[in-house]
C-alpha cells in the first residue's frame, strides 16, 4: 500500500506516521506542502499531526490554503482515502472535507496522555478490524480538540454511522476530556473515505511504549 | 481605508475562554459582570477606496479564511 504523508511548516508527527505505516509494510512518501500533486498510485493520504503554521488564526486554517491541500481535496472528491490525525483532523474540518469544527479544549488545558476510546462504527475502511464497543487505548495530545457540531449535524452523523470513536474510561463508560459534543473523538464523511480523529494511533504501535492498539487501527486500511 | 473585523464564537457555542475570564473577574470582585465573550480583532489596511467594494471584498475574506462560520460570527467596520 502506498501512503502519502502531508507535511506543512509546523507538522511534527510525519516521521512517527511514516514509521507506523512502514511497520505495516507500506511504502510511504512525505509530501511537502508546496507540492500540488499526489502520486497516481496513492492508496491513502495522511494529514499528520503537529502545529501547522503555528496554529495561527485557528488550528488548520492556514494549512487549508497550501497547494498540497487542493490536491488532497481533489483526491478525496474522487473517492481517495484520507486520514487526518490531530492537527490533520483540524485541517480536514477547516477544508470542509469533514463536518463540524474543533474548538479550544473546554478547560483550556493542553492535554497530553493516554486515553481510552470506544469504537462506535466499524463499517468503514478504518475500523473494520474492530467490533462495536471495543475499547482502545490511544494517546491524545491537543489544545484544540473540543469537537463541535450543531444538533442537526450530530443527528446526521449518527444516522449515517459517521461517528467513529468516543472518549471513555477503561471500562467503556463515556468520559469527556475536552468538552467535545457527545465525547466524539473521531468521525468520517458521509462517503466514508475521509477520516479524522484527535487521538494519535501512530503513537500506539509498540506495547513497550504503553499500547499497540494504534497498529490494529491503521491495519484497517490494509484490508480496505 | 481600514477594515476592522471582529470574530466571535456564535451565540450558543460555549465560549470557554470567556467563561474563564468571567470567573477571574468575579475573583477580583467585579460582581456586576453578567457575561464575557472573548473574540479576536483583525485589522486590515486596504488600498480600495470605494466603501461598498471594500466591504464586499472583506466579507469574502471572512467567509474564506478570517472566520470559521461553522462556529464563529464576524462583523466588519470600515474606517477611512
Record: fold of B2-79 = Mth169; Chain: A , (3.30.1280)
Q: What is the pTM of this model?
A: 0.94
- The domain of A209 spans 2-223
Residue A88: CB atoms within 10 Å: 31
Residue A199: CB atoms within 10 Å: 30
Residue A87 is part of a domain; what is its CATH number?
3.40.50.880
Task: Tell me the mean pLDDT in the region A157-166.
Answer: 98
Pairing of strands A44-47, A2-7: parallel
Could you give the number of structural domains in chain A?
A: 1
Task: Tell me the mean pLDDT in the region A50-56.
Answer: 95
- Interface contact flag, A61 B68, Cβ < 8 Å: yes
Q: Is B24 on the interface with A (CB under 8 A)?
A: no
Q: Give the span between the Cα atoms of B66 and A224, in whole angstroms.
A: 37
Q: Is A222 on the interface with B (CB under 8 A)?
A: no
The domain limits of chain B are 2-79
Q: Is the pLDDT of residue A137 over 90?
A: yes
The pLDDT value given to residue B68: 97
Task: Tell me the mean pLDDT in the region B38-44.
Answer: 97
The pLDDT value given to residue A223: 72
Percentage, residues of chain A above pLDDT 90: 99
Decide if the complex's ipTM is over 0.85: yes
Q: Is the pLDDT of residue A28 over 90?
A: yes
The pLDDT value given to residue A224: 61
Q: Give the span between the Cα atoms of A117 and B15, in whole angstroms.
A: 26
**Residue whose C-alpha is closest to residue A221's, from A199, A187, A200, A192:** A192
Count contacts between A and B (CB, < 8 Å).
34
Q: Give the span between the Cα atoms of A113 and A86, in whole angstroms.
A: 14
Distance from CA of B73 to the nearest CA of A (A): 14
Task: Tell me the mean pLDDT in the region A190-218.
Answer: 96
Amino acid at each position: 500500500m502506498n501512503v502519502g504523508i502531508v507535511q506543512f511548516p509546523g507538522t511534527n508527527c510525519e516521521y512517527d506516521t511514516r514509521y507506523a505505516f512502514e511497520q505495516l509494510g507500506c511504502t510511504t512518501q512525505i509530501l511537502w506542502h508546496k507540492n500540488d500533486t499526489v502520486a497516481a498510485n496513492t492508496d491513502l493520504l495522511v494529514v499528520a499531526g503537529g502545529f501547522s503554521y503555528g496554529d495561527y488564526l485557528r488550528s488548520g486554517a492556514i494549512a487549508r490554503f497550501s497547494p498540497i491541500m487542493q490536491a488532497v481535496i481533489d483526491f478525496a472528491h474522487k473517492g481517495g482515502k484520507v486520514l487526518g490525525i490531530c492537527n490533520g483532523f483540524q485541517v480536514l474540518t477547516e477544508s470542509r472535507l469533514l463536518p463540524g469544527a474543533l474548538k479550544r479544549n473546554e478547560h483550556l488545558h493542553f492535554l497530553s496522555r493516554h486515553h481510552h476510546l470506544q469504537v462506535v462504527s466499524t463499517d468503514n475502511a478504518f475500523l473494520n478490524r474492530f467490533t462495536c464497543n471495543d475499547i482502545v487505548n490511544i494517546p491524545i495530545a491537543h489544545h484544540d480538540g473540543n469537537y463541535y457540531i450543531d444538533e442537526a449535524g450530530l443527528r446526521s452523523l449518527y444516522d449515517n454511522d459517521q461517528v467513529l470513536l468516543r472518549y471513555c474510561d477503561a471500562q467503556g463508560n463515556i468520559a469527556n476530556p475536552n468538552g467535545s459534543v457527545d465525547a466524539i473523538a473521531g468521525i468520517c464523511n458521509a462517503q466514508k473515505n475521509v477520516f479524522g480523529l484527535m487521538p494519535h494511533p501512530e503513537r500506539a504501535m509498540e506495547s513497550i511504549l504503553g499500547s499497540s492498539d494504534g497498529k490494529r487501527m491503521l491495519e484497517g486500511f490494509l484490508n480496505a | 481605508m481600514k477594515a476592522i473585523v471582529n470574530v466571535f464564537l456564535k451565540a450558543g457555542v460555549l465560549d470557554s475562554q470567556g467563561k474563564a475570564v468571567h470567573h477571574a473577574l468575579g475573583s477580583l470582585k467585579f460582581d456586576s459582570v453578567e457575561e464575557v465573550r472573548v473574540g479576536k480583532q483583525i485589522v486590515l489596511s486596504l488600498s480600495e477606496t470605494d466603501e461598498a467594494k471594500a466591504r464586499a471584498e472583506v466579507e469574502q475574506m471572512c467567509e474564506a479564511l478570517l472566520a470559521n462560520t461553522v462556529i464563529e460570527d464576524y462583523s466588519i467596520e470600515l474606517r477611512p
